[in-house]
A = this chain, B = another copy of it.
Amino acid sequence: MSLPPLFLLLLFLLLGAGGLRAAEPGAAAAAAGGGGSSSAMEELATEQEAEESHRQDSVSLLTFILLLTLTILTIWLFKHRRVRFLHETGLAMIYGLIVGVILRYGTPSTSGHDKPFSCSQEDRPFTTLLVNVSGKFFEYTLKGEISPGKIHNVEQNDMLRKVTFDPEVFFNILLPPIIFHAGYSLKKRHFFRNLGSILAYAFLGTAVSCFIIGNLMYGVVKLMKLVGQLSGKFYYTDCLLFGAIISATDPVTVLAIFNELHADVDLYALLFGESVLNDAVAIVLSSSIVAYQPTGENTHAFDAAAFFKSVGVFLGIFSGSFMMGAVTGVVTALVTKFTKLHCFPLLETALFFLMSWSTFLLAEACGFTGVVAVLFCGITQAHYTYNNLSVESRSRTKQLFEVLHFLAENFIFSYMGLALFTFQKHIFSPVFIIGAFVAIFLGRAAHIYPLSFLLNLGRRHKISWNFQHMMMFSGLRGAMAFALAIRDTATYSHQMMFSTTLLIVFFTVWIVGGGTTPMLSWLNIRVGDRVPSVEEMSESRWLYFRVGVDPDQDPPPTNDSFQVLQGDGPDSERRNRTKQESAWLFRLWYSFDHNYLKPILTHSGPPLTTTLPSWCGLIARCLTSPQVYDNQEQLREEDSDFILNDGDLTVTYGDTTITANGSSGPHTATTSLDGRRTKSNSEEALERDLGAADHEVTSRGTRLVFPLEDNA
């Protein structure tokens, strides 16, 4: 049995779902109309109508589920046949488009689908219901009896409405798992190595892009007003909002394609890190622009006070959300560390899930941005909590969020396809659309190239031109831009922005997503532009991948032959490079994290008894788990993030008296040969983690640790 029959079956079901609905309401309406006037009959009729409405909801949801099923099967087919000209998200959009066309045009055309929903305000009992939907109270007014001739009109109208979801669904249900997964699966090694550049691209870049796009679009709007193409109000703040919405690049497609092609890891880290943080910045930026509300008469002119208020809002929301996410992550880490929950993986997974979700709700409840909080919660969970989980829970949580992420993402993309035809208030303005395309191109160019130039001044291994071109090209817009745009479609300007955003997402996902592979080879990125032996490297990554080892954990030895490395000895050279790359702030944080946070929050790192001053001995002994002494050896293998050669640390604290439990064992004793407590143990670890994972494993136990001269 080949695939086509299955596809036909699914398509048939999809169409059938639409057809089914048309047949039912007549009966319900007749039942409602034919009943007597007794209250019991009316109750029954109301019940039937409610049931009918429930059935229609099921059908519309079923449509999406079948759409997703179809998408999954096609994705499999594409992966199976190694088709790369179209990414799976692009596919989901195409299916969505097809179903949207069917829903819109496949049934008799509708009259008046643009008029607002008019509810009957008669005082019949049971026609006006109070419905409590997830805590909100809504007045649910049932429409009166529908005359048989009108059913099709009304129903068609209804169907389009039914497949239109509340925008908040995207923000509160679909985005959180996607963003959490992004944070949870962030490749920490390369991410931290390029942290400075990533932060620069994400914060400065997004702000630059937002303002450039906003100003360009304001010019376009002015032009449209001159030409007479604008039939509604379009303020400067709207233009800036559009800039914020459209500046959020999507990590999804880049991630998928780069992962599949095993492209350069640094480029991957830059792009992925930028687009993940990008999203957070764009959300908060758009919130601050909405909050920008000048006082006085002219409410849409520039007002310095309001501007600084907006900047304050931006900083407040961002840092608040960041804190919220970090705090929940830390609490989860503490709970999983100090309870023996890991004996019950189900409980552990459930707790992990709930705590991560509560970050979102907590942030929303405090007026911060849940999605941003969830991102940082994901990063914290991956950094600390993950180490405390049982082996089963690790795979469980990863898989759980992977599935949620996959489903949510494909749902959003197929919904986008659907929305092009089913959304009822589209305003397509050719001038605005062309202007927007030009603006996003210029906006991206205006932050990638200058920023790269500035960053290259400070970077030891430069971001090459080809990388810059690739970053320029990879500015895909996806789920986040869509969710931000659909959030408010009440006014003329917002509707136009939404329609334009939709088109930009389509274009970038199809063209850019499909063109990534040719572009990579055209720019010679895969054949060793900067990194000489990428071919070999991706081969070895592939091998690592196949044997189940995260390529991020153990970079291949070829990394060593970086073209910039031409010093006297590899060791000192590496040290210098590491120094120059990581800013002092980052080094400070790293040392704090390594010496205090890791030991407090997880079972790894050096015991607090060695890192804290001696007068904190009691607290240190309380907070250090016995496993730190026991499992030092074991954890070296398990610890997934960038503390790689943790075992070496036994050298540095081997001389201090370990009193908590005596089981530091013979292994520690044999390796603590040098017997000196060095002050720079965290710097050593940082250095090893960031650049020097290419030591031969055999040299591990015998290498002596020299304190660094420079303690900055």
Binding site for B on A (CB under 8 A): 1-3, 6, 9, 17, 20-21, 24, 38, 40, 43-44, 47, 53-62, 65-66, 68-69, 72-73, 75-76, 79-80, 116-117, 119, 130-141, 161-166, 168-169, 290, 293, 299, 331, 334-335, 338-341, 343-344, 346-347, 349-351, 353-355, 357-358, 361-362, 364-367, 370, 396, 399-400, 402-403, 406-407, 410, 490, 622-623
Contact = CB atoms under 8 A, between A and B. Distances in A.
Given A53-B136, A55-B365, A76-B339, 19 more contacts: A1-B622, A1-B623, A54-B168, A57-B134, A58-B364, A61-B135, A62-B362, A65-B361, A66-B358, A72-B347, A79-B343, A131-B136, A133-B133, A136-B140, A136-B162, A346-B406, A396-B399, A399-B400, A400-B400
A134 B3 CA distance: 32
Contacts of A80: 340, 343
A489 to B, nearest CB: 11
A403 B346 contact: yes
B361 A61 contact: yes
Given A130-B116, A350-B406, A366-B20, A139 B137 contact: no
A139 B138 contact: yes
Given A6-B335, A44-B293, A139-B139, A133 B403 contact: no
A138 B140 contact: yes
B56 A135 contact: yes
Given A131-B166, A161-B137, A169-B134, A62 B349 contact: no
B72 A350 contact: yes
A396 B407 contact: no
> What number of copies of this chain does the assembly contain?
2
A278 to B, nearest CB: 24
Nearest to A61: B361
Contacts of A335: 6, 73
Contact of A73 (B44, B131, B351): B351
Q: Which of A44, A54, A137, A340 has the most CB of B within 10 A?
A: A137
A688 to B, nearest CB: 31
A344 B77 CA distance: 11
B347 A76 contact: yes
What are the nearest 4 A-B pairs in CB distance? A138-B138, A58-B364, A135-B162, A62-B361
Contacts of A365: 17, 20-21, 55, 58-59, 62
A166 B134 CA distance: 6
A162 B339 CA distance: 33
Contacts of A73: 335, 339, 341, 351
A76 to B, nearest CB: 5
A497 to B, nearest CB: 16
A354 B299 contact: no
Contact of A135 (B60, B331, B341): B60
Nearest to A300: B40
A406 B347 CA distance: 9
Contacts of A164: 132, 135
B132 A166 contact: yes
A434 to B, nearest CB: 29
Nearest to A53: B136
A424 to B, nearest CB: 11
Interface centre among A20, A361, A365 (most CB of B within 10 A): A365
Contact of A354 (B9, B68, B490): B68
A353 B407 contact: yes
A299 B370 CA distance: 53
Given A73-B335, A339-B76, A351-B72, A131 B138 contact: yes
B69 A354 contact: yes
Contacts of A165: 132, 134-135
B117 A55 contact: no
A390 to B, nearest CB: 13
Contacts of A62: 358, 361-362, 365
Contact of A139 (B133, B140, B340): B140
A354 B133 contact: no
Nearest to A52: B367
Contacts of A134: 57, 61, 133, 165-166, 169
Given A62-B362, A347-B75, A364-B55, A141 B140 contact: no
26 contacts: A1-B334, A6-B334, A17-B365, A56-B135, A57-B134, A57-B136, A58-B364, A59-B361, A62-B365, A65-B358, A66-B358, A68-B354, A73-B341, A79-B343, A79-B347, A80-B343, A133-B133, A133-B138, A135-B161, A136-B140, A138-B139, A346-B403, A349-B403, A354-B407, A396-B403, A400-B403
